[in-house]
Chains A and B, each alone.
Chain A
Amino acid sequence: MNFALIFLIIIFSISLFFYGKSKTRSLALQNNLKLNALPKFYGYYLVLWCSIPSLVFLLIWTLFEPIIIKSIIIDNAAKLGANISDKNEANLIYEKIKAIHLGTYFGDIDNILQQSALSYSKFIGLFTNSKIVLIFSVIIGSILYSLKKIKNNNKARDDVEIILKGLLFVSSLIAILTTLGIIFSLLFESIKFFSVINIFDYLFGTNWSPQRAFVRDASSITVAEYEELKDAFGFIPLIAGTSFIALIAMFVAVPIGLFSGIYMAEYASTKIRRISKPIIEILAGIPTVVYGFFAALTVGPFFRQFGESLGLTVSSESALAAGLIMGIMIIPYISSLSDDVINSVPQSLRDGSYAVGATKSETIKQVVIPAALPGIIGSVLLAVSRAIGETMIVVMAAGLAANLTINPLESTTTITTQIVMILVGDQEFDSPKTQSAFALGLTLFVATLILNYVAQRAVKKYREKYD
C-alpha cells in the first residue's frame, strides 16, 4: 500500500516537473513577460510542493496508525469483557486479534476475540481508505497552492532554495533528535527503576545479582521484599569490574600506543611511517566481536594453561585476558592521536632544545611531551571512554558473575556485559530487572559523555595554544 502511494507521488512529481517547466515557458511567451527564474525552477517548485507535504503526512500516518488502532481495539475488547489487567495481556490479546484477522490463528476463538477481530478488520479498512483520501487531498491542495503561485510568476528559485535550506536544516536536526531519543529512552526506564530502587542503594550497593529479582508488581512491594531487591542492584561491583578491566587495558595500550606514537612522529622515516601506520590502524578497524572471539577461544585458555603450569588457578574468563585484548584494540586510538598531537608541537621548541645540546630523546622527554601533555591526556581519556563502553570483548571474554576482586586472574563483570545479559532474549517489560539495564545504560552514557567532554576540551585547548 505505502509503496504504491510513494510510487504515485513520484509519478506525480515527475510529471509536474515537466508541466511546470513548459507551462511557465508558454505563459512567458504568450504574455511576453519576463520570468523571475529559469523555467526549470518552476518545475522544481512544483515537485517539492507535491512530494514533501504528502511524504511527511504518509510517514506520520504510518508511524501512528498501528498505535491508534491498537488502543482502540484494546479498549473495545475491554468493553466487550476481555480480561485485560496489564500490558502483557493486552499485547497478547492484540496479537491474537491480528492473527485471527490474517487467518493465521489456530487456537480457540471465543466470542470476544471474534468480535474484536471483526472490528479490527473494519478499522484497518477504514484507516486505509481515509489514508488514501487524505493523502490525495494533501497532494491536490499543495499542487493547487503551488500552481497559483507559479501563475503569478513568483521568484521560484528563491522559493525553491528556501525550501531546500529548510530540508538541510531538518537533516542536521536529526543529530539533536537522536540525542534526545537516547536521553528520553534511558531516562524514562531509569526513572521507573529508581522509583522502585533508591538511587543511593543503587550507587553504593555492593552486591549485583539481578537474576534474583523476579518479576513482581513494582507498585506494591513490602519492606522485606525491598531489602532483598536493593541487595540485587548494587552498582559498586560493576563499576569496579569495568574500571579494573579498563585499567588493565590502559596498562597495555598507553605504553605501546604512546611509544609508537612518539616513534612515528619523531623518528620514523616516511617509508616506515607509510607502511606501519595503516597496519596499526587495522587494529581499530577489526570488529570487536573478532577480538572477543580471539580472547575467549585463544587467549583465555592460553592464560589458564600457562597459569596451571605455574601452579596458579586462572579463570578461563579472567579479567586479564579481556583487559589485554581490549588494550590491544585501543592501541591505535592512542598512537594516532598522540602522533597528531606531537606533530603539532612547534618545531621551534625542539630547535631550542637541540641548540642547548640535548639529545633527541631528552628533547622528547623534557620538551615535546610536556608541551603536548594536555593533548596526550585527552587522547588517553578518549581511549578510557572507549574502553568502558566496549561491549563485545567483555561479553565474550569476561565473566558474568559480579565479583568484587582485584585479582586479575579471577573473572569480573562489566556494565556493558550486564546490559547485554539482562536484555538478551525475552524480557519482561516493567520488571526492575529490565529497567536496571536502562539505568546502567544511563550511567554509562553519562560517564562517557563526561570523559569525552573533558578530553575534547583538553585537546581543543591544546590546539588553540599552538595555532
Chain B
Amino acid sequence: MWLKELLKNIEKNMTKEKRLKKRHNAEKRFRFYGLASIFLALLFVLILVQNIFSKGSSAFMKTAINVDVFYDPELLGVKNGATKDEILEADFFDITIETLLKTYPTNNLDEENQLIDLFTTDAELEIKNALINNSNLLGKTVSLEITSSDDIDQLHKGNYPRDLPEERRRISNFQLSIYDNFLENKKIIKNFNNYFFKNGDSRDPEIAGIGGALVGSFYSILICLLLSFPIAVLASIYLEEFAPKNKITDFIEININNLAAVPSIVYGLLALQILLATIQLPRSTPLVAGITLALMTLPRIIIPCRASLKAVPPSIREGALAVGASKFQSVFHHVVPLALPGTLSGTIIGLAQALGETAPLILIGMVAFVVDIPSTPIDPSSSLPVQVYLWSESAERGFVEKTSATIMMLLSFLIVMNFLAVYLRQKFEKRWN
C-alpha cells in the first residue's frame, strides 16, 4: 500500500517530460517482451531440430570392415559347383568364425571372443548372402565389407569416448588396438546404412532398422484414411447442408467438438476395451491402430471440412437450385467440388497428426518387439512414433542415433504432408470476396 502511495508521489513530482519518457520506456519494454517471446519460441524450434539432426544424421551411415573371405567348399560341406539350394542349406558358422579370426592374430579364447565381438551378430548372414547372390565365388577368396558391431560403429563415428579407463569402457584395450590396426590398414570404411531402412527391429543397434515400423505406419495411416475420410466428409455434408436445426443435430455437434479435445490416450482405452476385449481383433496390428486413429482423427477432420463447406457462398447453392437441381444435386455437383481443396488439406493435416500419435498405439500393444516386417495389416507390427519410444528406452548407445534418425524420418513425412496441405489450399481453393 505505502509503496503505491510512494510511487504516486514520485510520479506527481515528476515533470511532464519525465513522465512521458517513462511511459515511452514502458512502451519499449512491452514491445521487447513480445519480440523476445517470439524469438524464444523460434529459438526453441531451432534447438530442437538442430539437436535431433546432429544426433541422428550419423545413423544413415554404417561402419563396415573389409574382410577377405575364402569360400572353402570343404568347410561349407558342399561340392564345387553346388546349386543355390545346396548353398542355402549349408552351415556358414564355421567359415564365419574362421574368416573373422583370420583378421587379427589372437592368443587365447578370450581374445578370440573379443575379436569376434567387433563384428555384427549378422556376419554369418552377410557372408552367406554374398555367396547366394553370386555362387561363382565358391572356392575363391573375395573381399567383403562386413558390418561392424555397434560399439566399433559408435567409436568410429566419434560418439564414444576412448579416453575413459578400460573398466568403464565397453571396448577393451585389446579391441581398441585391433581397431587402430584396422584403421591403419584402411580396412574400416563407411557405407550407406541400408539396414536402417530395410530391417525390422533388433536388439543389436547395428542391424536394427525402421522397415517394420515404416510398413506398420503406412498400413495404419492407410486404414485411418480409408475409414475417416469418407465418414468425415459425409458427416460434415450432413451437418452443414442437410441437418435440421433440432436437438439431435445440436447433440451431434457438441459431441464432435468434445471428441476433438479428448486426450488421445482415452482413445487407447476405448480401443483396448471395445476393439480388443469385446470384438477381439488381433492385438498389436495396424488394423486396430488404423481404426483407433480413425476414431480419433474423425472429429479433427470434420471441423475443417465443415469450415470449407461453410465458406462456399450460398449463391452457388441458390444458382443450382434455381435451374432445377435437387438439393442433393446442388450439394454434390457444386458445393462439394468447390469445398474439396479445403477438405483434402484438412484431411491431410488430420492424418499428419495421426501419424505422430503414440499413446493410443502403446495401449493396443504396438510396443511388442516385432522383428519381422508385416506383410498384411493383421500382422503384429510397430509404427514410427512407437519405434521412437521403444528405442529411446534402450540402453545401448547406438540406439540414440537410430532414435534421432527415426524422428528425422517422421518429421520429414510430416513436413511433406503439411506442405501438401498448404499447397492444395493455396493452389485450388477459391477465395470468395
Specify which of A263, A423, A424 is in contact with B38 (CB 8 Å cutoff): A263
CA distance A282 to B415 in the complex (A): 9
On chain A, the number of residues with a Cβ less than 8 Å from chain B's Cβ atoms is 91
Closest Cβ neighbor of A266 among chain B residues:
B34
Least CB separation from B327: chain A residue: A161
Q: Complex: how many Å from CA A66 to CA B299?
A: 30
A292 within 8 A of B: yes
Q: How far is the CA of A253 from the CA of B418 in the complex (A)?
A: 24
B316 at the interface (CB under 8 A from A): no
Of B269, B274, B298, B355, most A-chain CB atoms within 10 Å: B269
**Knowing A172-B234, A361-B26 touch, does A178 contact B298 (C-beta < 8 A)?**
yes
Give the residue name and chain of the B residue nearest to A423 (CB).
Answer: B363
- A441-B266, A444-B266 given as contacts; is B33 within 8 A of A188 (CB)? no
> Does A437 sit at the interface, judged by CB under 8 A?
yes
The count of A-to-B residue pairs whose CB atoms sit within 8 angstroms is 246
Q: Is the CB of B238 within 8 A of A168?
A: yes
Most chain B beta carbons < 10 A, residue from A266, A328, A361, A365: A361
In the complex, whether B280 has a CB less than 8 A from a CB of chain A is yes
Residues of A within 8 A of B352 (CB): 285
Q: Interface digits, A364-406 against B, CB 8 Å rule (1 contact, 0 not)?
A: 1100000000000000001001101111100110000000000
Determine the main DSSP class of A at the interface with B: helix
- In this assembly, does B120 line the interface, its C-beta being within 8 Å of a C-beta of chain A? no
A444 to B265, CA, bound (A): 10
B: interface residue count bin: 35 or more
A330 CA to B41 CA, complexed, in Å: 11
Q: A63-B279, A255-B37 are in contact. Are A174 and B298 (CB under 8 A)?
A: yes
Interface stretch of the complex, out of A24-32, A131-139, A203-211, A293-301 = A293-301
Smallest Cβ distance from B331 to chain A, in angstroms? Answer: 10
Report if A407 contacts B (CB, 8 A): no
B224 interface residue, CB < 8 Å from A? no
In the complex, the chain A residue whose C-beta lies closest to that of B33 is A259
Cα A266 to Cα B33 with chains together (Å): 13
Decide if A175 touches B30 in the complex (CB within 8 Å): no
Assuming the A-B contacts A176-B251, A182-B266, are A364 and B280 also in contact, with contact meaning beta carbons closer than 8 angstroms in the complex?
Answer: no
Pairs across A and B, CB under 8 Å, 11 listed: A167-B234, A168-B238, A173-B252, A179-B255, A186-B266, A287-B355, A298-B51, A392-B359, A395-B359, A423-B272, A423-B363
**Known A178-B295, A392-B389; 10 more pairs at CB < 8 Å:** A161-B327, A172-B252, A176-B255, A185-B274, A294-B48, A360-B31, A361-B27, A391-B358, A396-B392, A423-B268
Which B residues are within 8 Å of any A CB, using their own CB? 23-24, 26-27, 29-31, 33-38, 40-42, 44-45, 48, 51-52, 230-231, 234-235, 237-239, 242-243, 251-252, 255-259, 261-270, 272-274, 277, 279-280, 295, 298-299, 302, 326-328, 352-353, 355-359, 362-363, 367, 385-386, 388-389, 392, 400, 403-404, 407, 410-411, 414, 418
Instruction: Sort A-B residue pairs by CB-CB distance and give the 9 closest, nearest first.
Output: A389-B263, A287-B356, A263-B34, A185-B273, A168-B238, A361-B30, A391-B359, A171-B234, A172-B235
